Chain A
């Protein structure tokens, strides 16, 4: 027998109705010009990205353009945020997508978020942050009361995912518990959430599109990780090491006819041996 695919509940939403009221309240807050961040966290395969897309689509009332509104990793996020504002999009989703395994990624993310919320508040864009555990975020963000609520995804089944919602007030308690508890996921069960709920899977077509897009993002990160593993450096990185401008490095590289080892997208990567060669030119 053909099993019907459910991507919406009877009330017409892909997630519990109680959450919709909360998103509406958030929308009003952003209209009032207050910075707002919604965090979705949970382990791998718990449906965080799916849930983020569903919330985003409910918020803006139309489908999310993945290429413009879904940022995979910190660097992508910084680029897309500005584009989102220019295109008049109401939301942007930051999906960590394995980005945190890169050294310095967290520091960069925290710095970006802090900067973003100081300058982009007036542009009235909702940021949905998807990451494995919200306690990696800078306490400054919490102090500024920017994250408004947290949705923790867990116990996903084939048909639906489950979430617990914690207000910013509860997040402080949760943070204290996370710091004390050895088994981090258990901390979420110790703090009573503001609401429980469920969310359904995306439609098959939309899920395939999302998978395709996020796989691309993850592959990009893997490629970059491979470059880092091989110890290759871009012109900018060499310039930073030598304390010279990128232009100076570029000139020296072409003067000495040094060849790049790998080209990834538009960036040329050189071997480590280039640094001592150019170092000799530094006066």
Chain B
């Protein structure tokens, strides 16, 4: 995709833009959960519609990918959870989506292999000198 506004001919693949959009939606959900908790923890009954709306949006965004990579019963269960108006079920749905994102390496941080470098042969092997 060419960014004409910046008058640059360097393009960003659509794939990367979608990844950013997904992460943005996930971040929005976390913000909504935080807002819900802020009210809820103060002792006031908080409305859950914001959390539900945002989780549902992310679910729609990922829908095609999820239905392709999940088993049918798992996907159906997730769809049911996303449509719930119950906070606990929505959190469960969010957790399931999160673990899927982690599996797809979108939110995975620990991507480097842990090597015990005190065993010097392992350290050598890690540099292709095994």
Contacts and interface: CB of A to CB of B under 8 A. Distances in A.
Interface of A: 18, 21-22, 25-26, 29, 145, 148-149, 165-170, 194-195
Contacts of B34: none
Sorted nearest first, the 6 A-B pairs with minimum C-beta distance are A167-B120, A167-B123, A25-B121, A169-B127, A149-B120, A195-B118
Contacts of A25: 119-122
Task: Name which of B118, B120, B124 has the most chain A CB atoms within 10 A of its CB.
Answer: B120
A252 B123 CA distance: 60
B126 interface: yes
A168 B127 CA distance: 9
B129 interface: yes
15 contacts: A22-B120, A22-B121, A25-B120, A25-B121, A29-B121, A145-B129, A148-B124, A149-B120, A165-B120, A167-B117, A167-B121, A168-B129, A169-B129, A194-B117, A195-B120
A168 B117 CA distance: 11
Contacts of B119: 21-22, 25
A168 B124 contact: yes
Contacts of A22: 118-121
Contacts of A149: 120-121, 124
Interface string B42-82: 00000000000000000000000000000000000000000
A18 B118 contact: yes
Contacts of B126: 169
Contacts of A29: 121
Interface of B: 117-124, 126-127, 129
Given A21-B118, A25-B119, A145-B129, 6 more contacts: A25-B121, A148-B124, A149-B121, A168-B129, A169-B129, A170-B123
Contacts of B124: 145, 148-149, 167-169
B26 to A, nearest CB: 37
Contacts of B121: 22, 25-26, 29, 148-149, 167
Contacts of B117: 167, 194
Contacts of B127: 168-169
Nearest to A170: B123
B120 A194 contact: yes
Contacts of B123: 167, 169-170, 194
Nearest to A26: B121
A25 to B, nearest CB: 4
